[in-house]
Chain A
């Protein structure tokens, strides 16, 4: 009987591992109710009580081995069948994709959001002001009285004698000082207007970002420090900043600010016209008259202000050589940002 069991085991394993084996058929043949192993077990009654447990154990072992082999073989064949199917389902992965449409941010907005985030990180809030503005806020409250020669540098669009299209974002400084008390730490991005004919580098409408800080003990060193952080965050950690004396009626001292060219690192290249430096903004310490007109006591408070052109930064950063592209809104252009 022992030999019979051994023989069943050997033949079952052989048949199971054979190519093209019908596993269900084999399970019935060996393990089914009328199967060979069952038939052997049925003959257990003829055994002696001593033999019975030994043979029983052996029969169970054989059953387990066959079951295990059947299971393994079933898995194998499933895997094989799936592999064959998957092979059949092969795709040409180089074929074009079906992409969901994604809209693109306008480059001016990209730059503006960047700048906003940099200054928000330094504790600045964003304040907005009207584009159609009183002459008073655009000029007079900024220490530029009527018929002051400084008005010549900004050809202004007028609506009436007293109302104009703001030529700078600086009127927001004057409005903020009137409306809020120090400490002030604000930026104000927005549209400004100047009577410049449209060409590759001029537009009658462009965007500026104004900054204003007023508090006790604000120094010109603080202005430099703030603009240092701005330049490094916006143009890269190696960017250096330099100040040149200048004149703005609403700041004193005033400066024009250059950054080291982020394309060549200051060695001189096409972008910086060989200078190594790029003029980027105007800044200065808020003029005491401007503080006074805003109702802030210049003997207690001091502050600084700065203003930069968003188009200029976008054009430098993304190497846009014609300002008109920014307002043409060709999707082939927009899609690159």
Chain B
């Protein structure tokens, strides 16, 4: 809402308050100021002038030399304008002058002739033909003759440009403040000034003609239309509205059109009551029906857009057709035109949600619908209607026909809220007297009687004690409340064990040189193709956003890998080397029940490239598993995940209650996938199912005594086929050696022609120890023999000689 301070002055006198203090005061009492603009502050030293004498420039075929009277003196100004004549009243920029667009006008010479300024067009004063109707846009702005006695007057004063406009952000609960009068009420309370309200007085034609001769109104949907009031104006002459009205509308950001349309807009801005005017002669018959639209009914709005209506929408119709979409926009069929002679002024009150839905469905949010959707005050209809007719009188725009139509089927009951000063003091944490509270409420037009507060009809937002408390405290000042500490039962704050684990995991990652990232939860469905997710993979079934910003952010991810790869690729593009990243990313898995929310799961996703290989990443994962205290994790080669290298990928799982719980996956990204992300080097990624990891986690710490007896070690080496996994060998060794095996560690691996194609040589160190004694040579030998026997029996391995 843009408020003209000049307009405000009609209702409350705050001229002595500095504009900065005004804005701050209003903000602190609840009407938030976004900013203000001093109109015309970029127009300096431009005055009203008269062209006394006009001669052709001797050395130019298009320039003129003017002798210009600015009241105090006559100046010579050279101009190229072709629309001047002797006696023309014009705006003249007198050196040193400033014009909008950072233009400075200095004295100088044009083709050898002295020029002491510049005559201005409307564009040079940042005006348009809306503010200056009927004036030439391309030439010098020729002012009306009535300015002849104002020579020398500052143009801002002459054209009423000297105003300040304050921009308010009005919240949806205060539609009454979307008006000059509403803001005047707030200003009066804020600065403790008198509110000067005005009751419109309408002079009717008095010729015996009555509105009943013209119009009948029937409200057929009283649930959607609380009130419908109308008046008729005849002998209308459509012309521009006067300058003061045009300038006030302009200042408020509304384009002046003609006297009738301007009046409806003026009243809407002043009273907050949207008005509609339509051409009476375009009505079929003499009744107005306020009815629901028929399903499929067609309607062309004022802006020449066609709409197909449905029965949820309310229309203002005559006997045959819809003439307006109630509260949203008028119809093209009854628009005010230059030849309109009889006008119906409508001032009505419609149900907010109905207007909102109608405007939304037809994609036309208007100044009118924006007000109606917030539930307006039906009591405001008549004063606004009278004000419109009063302006008709004032402008001499036509004759107001006697009588008013006022259908008011749905009167809202008066609201009564218990007045509870003690409770409010306790709730707010203040100690205000009952008298103070009453004085504030009365200033806000509330009645306080018999233990109840009765808000005025335009304050539909006041319904309960909290609302009343807010009214009192916003005037008293939020910042006058003392800060206190909560006095109540002590609560044990803190993180849950899982929340703490997540932080521990993050810290472990940082310690391993891995940076944390945050990526968007929504992705493009194309990302699934990019990681080569099979067509029939259930993970392709995502939660789909019905109104996405674009395809790139249109589905909620079911996997976090593509987000990680995007970030890795971006870093690679930036030539960042040795990049290691992680994200504990949420993924969204739809359930079969469409009414149910998807499952939101966290997946710890790790990605790296540069100075790393598969085993570095595996080490990261093993550290994660150790942090969680998960024992007995089995890594299994995974050859069929299309995103990963078929020979360099492993899934890892743990046994729980006899079932295999999949904890995650790690490996080298398939070179074809990596290449799609712009990589020509290996990229490694892992994902750990965070929730499953937490379920398998055992964070209890139980100290194992340090060994008291020495260990015996045996180094065993074998040559075997490359296909035999080290994990399988270790498993056999641990099992065969039983309790005595403390650790089995691979310490050498070799492949080469001298041991045969397709073979590898492996060397393990087995550490044997008993907790309660020093092992005898015999015991160690026995265990070693058993290990070797089992290896031979189960895997066909023989000790290398």
Using a CB–CB cutoff of 8 Å, the interface residues on chain A facing chain B are 100-106, 108-109, 113, 116, 119-126, 130-134, 146-150, 152-153, 157-160, 162-163, 165, 183, 185, 191, 193, 195, 197-198, 204-205, 213, 215-222, 224-226, 228, 242-247, 249, 252-256, 285, 287-288, 302, 326-332, 334-335
In-complex Cβ contact of A242 among B479, B493, B578 (8 A): B479
User: Taking the nearest CB of chain A, how far is it from the CB of B493, in angstroms?
Assistant: 4
Residue on B with the closest CB to A106?
A: B516
With A and B bound together, what is the CA distance between A87 and B488 in angstroms? 69
With A and B bound together, what is the CA distance between A108 and B515 in angstroms? 13
Q: B27 at the A/B interface (Cβ < 8 Å)?
A: yes
Closest 3 pairs between A and B when the two form their complex, measured CB to CB: A101-B513, A221-B429, A219-B429
User: Taking the nearest CB of chain B, how far is it from the CB of A204, in angstroms?
Assistant: 6
- The interface bits of chain B over 566-598 (1 if a CB of A lies within 8 angstroms of the residue's CB, else 0) are 010011001010111110001010000011011
User: Taking the nearest CB of chain A, how far is it from the CB of B391, in angstroms?
Assistant: 29
Contact, CB under 8 Å: B483 / A215: no
Tell me which residues from 489 to 530 in chain B have a Cβ below 8 Å from any Cβ of chain A. Answer: 489-496, 499, 503, 506, 509-522
With A and B bound together, what is the CA distance between A274 and B456 in angstroms? 39
Q: How many A-B residue pairs have CB under 8 A?
A: 237
Tell me which residues from 404 to 435 in chain B have a Cβ below 8 Å from any Cβ of chain A. Answer: 426-430
In-complex Cβ contact of A101 among B464, B512, B522, B570 (8 A): B512
Q: B790 at the A/B interface (Cβ < 8 Å)?
A: no
Chain A residues with CB under 8 Å of B514's CB are 101, 103
Contact, CB under 8 Å: A185 / B509: no
With A and B bound together, what is the CA distance between A246 and B168 in angstroms? 12
In-complex Cβ contact of B503 among A113, A160, A163, A193 (8 A): A113
Given contacts A102-B513, A220-B429, A225-B486, contact A116 B495 (CB under 8 A): yes
Chain A residues with CB under 8 Å of B104's CB are none
Q: B113 at the A/B interface (Cβ < 8 Å)?
A: no
Residue on A with the closest CB to B489?
A: A183
With A and B bound together, what is the CA distance between A102 and B474 in angstroms? 51
With A and B bound together, what is the CA distance between A175 and B509 in angstroms? 33
Contact, CB under 8 Å: B172 / A149: yes
Contact, CB under 8 Å: A221 / B580: no
A-B contact pairs, 19 of them (CB 8 A): A103-B516, A104-B510, A104-B515, A125-B494, A131-B521, A146-B353, A147-B356, A185-B493, A215-B489, A219-B426, A219-B429, A220-B428, A243-B479, A244-B478, A245-B470, A326-B518, A328-B567, A329-B581, A334-B516
With A and B bound together, what is the CA distance between A247 and B543 in angstroms? 33
In-complex Cβ contact of A224 among B470, B481, B491 (8 A): B481
With A and B bound together, what is the CA distance between A122 and B490 in angstroms? 9
Chain A residues with CB under 8 Å of B768's CB are none
Chain B residues with CB under 8 Å of A256's CB are 32
Q: B373 at the A/B interface (Cβ < 8 Å)?
A: yes
User: Taking the nearest CB of chain B, how far is it from the CB of A252, in angstroms?
Assistant: 4
Given contacts A221-B482, A245-B28, A253-B469, contact A216 B488 (CB under 8 A): yes
Contact, CB under 8 Å: A130 / B597: yes
- The interface bits of chain B over 525-547 (1 if a CB of A lies within 8 angstroms of the residue's CB, else 0) are 00000000000000000011111
Given contacts A103-B512, A243-B478, A326-B518, contact A331 B486 (CB under 8 A): no
Contact, CB under 8 Å: A123 / B600: no
With A and B bound together, what is the CA distance between A188 and B60 in angstroms? 77
User: Taking the nearest CB of chain B, how far is it from the CB of A19, in angstroms?
Assistant: 51
Contact, CB under 8 Å: B571 / A329: yes
Contact, CB under 8 Å: B483 / A124: no
Q: B753 at the A/B interface (Cβ < 8 Å)?
A: no
Stretch from B283-291, B339-347, B548-556, B723-731 at the A interface:
B548-556
Contact, CB under 8 Å: A125 / B491: yes
In-complex Cβ contact of A218 among B482, B486, B600 (8 A): B486
User: Taking the nearest CB of chain B, how far is it from the CB of A135, in angstroms?
Assistant: 11
Q: B466 at the A/B interface (Cβ < 8 Å)?
A: yes
Given contacts A101-B580, A105-B516, A329-B519, contact A247 B174 (CB under 8 A): yes
Chain A residues with CB under 8 Å of B492's CB are 123, 125
In-complex Cβ contact of A222 among B473, B479, B486, B511 (8 A): B486
Given contacts A103-B511, A147-B357, contact A222 B484 (CB under 8 A): yes
Using a CB–CB cutoff of 8 Å, the interface residues on chain B facing chain A are 27-30, 32, 171-174, 352-353, 356-357, 373-374, 426-430, 464-467, 469-470, 473-474, 478-479, 481-496, 499, 503, 506, 509-522, 543-549, 553, 556, 567, 570-571, 574, 576, 578-582, 586, 588, 594-595, 597-598, 600
With A and B bound together, what is the CA distance between A108 and B600 in angstroms? 21
With A and B bound together, what is the CA distance between A77 and B373 in angstroms? 99
Chain A residues with CB under 8 Å of B506's CB are 105, 109
Contact, CB under 8 Å: B510 / A103: yes
Chain A residues with CB under 8 Å of B511's CB are 102-103
User: Taking the nearest CB of chain A, how far is it from the CB of B274, in angstroms?
Assistant: 15
- Name the residue among A108, A152, A158, A245 with the largest chain B CB count within 10 angstroms: A245
Main DSSP-derived SS at the A contact region: mixed
Contact, CB under 8 Å: B466 / A252: yes
Contact, CB under 8 Å: A220 / B510: no
With A and B bound together, what is the CA distance between A125 and B494 in angstroms? 5
Contact, CB under 8 Å: B428 / A221: yes
Residue on B with the closest CB to A104?
A: B515
With A and B bound together, what is the CA distance between A172 and B556 in angstroms? 20
User: Taking the nearest CB of chain A, how far is it from the CB of B463, in angstroms?
Assistant: 9
Chain B residues with CB under 8 Å of A163's CB are 597
Contact, CB under 8 Å: A183 / B491: yes
Contact, CB under 8 Å: B570 / A329: yes
Besides A222-B429, A329-B570, 6 more A-B contacts (Cβ < 8 Å) are A103-B512, A105-B516, A245-B30, A247-B171, A256-B32, A327-B520
Given contacts A147-B353, A220-B429, contact A244 B581 (CB under 8 A): no
Given contacts A103-B513, A326-B518, A330-B574, contact A162 B595 (CB under 8 A): yes
- Name the residue among A191, A252, A332 with the largest chain B CB count within 10 angstroms: A252
Given contacts A105-B506, A132-B543, contact A123 B518 (CB under 8 A): no
Residue on A with the closest CB to B365?
A: A152
Contact, CB under 8 Å: A123 / B493: yes
User: Taking the nearest CB of chain B, how far is it from the CB of A282, in angstroms?
Assistant: 11
Contact, CB under 8 Å: B503 / A106: no
With A and B bound together, what is the CA distance between A165 and B481 in angstroms? 37
With A and B bound together, what is the CA distance between A213 and B352 in angstroms? 33
Contact, CB under 8 Å: A219 / B493: no
Contact, CB under 8 Å: B517 / A329: yes
User: Taking the nearest CB of chain B, how far is it from the CB of A263, in angstroms?
Assistant: 21
User: Taking the nearest CB of chain B, how far is it from the CB of A167, in angstroms?
Assistant: 12
Contact, CB under 8 Å: A158 / B597: no
Contact, CB under 8 Å: A328 / B488: no
Chain A residues with CB under 8 Å of B172's CB are 148-150, 152-153, 247
Chain B residues with CB under 8 Å of A104's CB are 510, 515-516
Contact, CB under 8 Å: A119 / B493: yes
Residue on A with the closest CB to B600?
A: A130
Chain A residues with CB under 8 Å of B484's CB are 219, 221-222, 224-225
Residue on B with the closest CB to A332?
A: B576
Contact, CB under 8 Å: A245 / B474: yes
User: Taking the nearest CB of chain A, how far is it from the CB of B645, in angstroms?
Assistant: 24
With A and B bound together, what is the CA distance between A262 and B261 in angstroms? 50
Chain B residues with CB under 8 Å of A158's CB are 545-547
Contact, CB under 8 Å: A215 / B486: yes
User: Taking the nearest CB of chain B, how far is it from the CB of A234, in angstroms?
Assistant: 16
Contact, CB under 8 Å: B490 / A123: yes
Given contacts A120-B493, A125-B493, A191-B521, contact A220 B356 (CB under 8 A): no
Contact, CB under 8 Å: B597 / A132: yes
With A and B bound together, what is the CA distance between A285 and B427 in angstroms? 9
Chain B residues with CB under 8 Å of A116's CB are 495
User: Taking the nearest CB of chain B, how far is it from the CB of A141, in angstroms?
Assistant: 15
Residue on A with the closest CB to B429?
A: A221
Given contacts A158-B545, A245-B478, A330-B576, contact A254 B518 (CB under 8 A): no
With A and B bound together, what is the CA distance between A183 and B594 in angstroms? 35
With A and B bound together, what is the CA distance between A109 and B489 in angstroms? 31
Contact, CB under 8 Å: A302 / B427: yes
Contact, CB under 8 Å: A244 / B28: yes
In-complex Cβ contact of B466 among A102, A285, A329 (8 A): A285
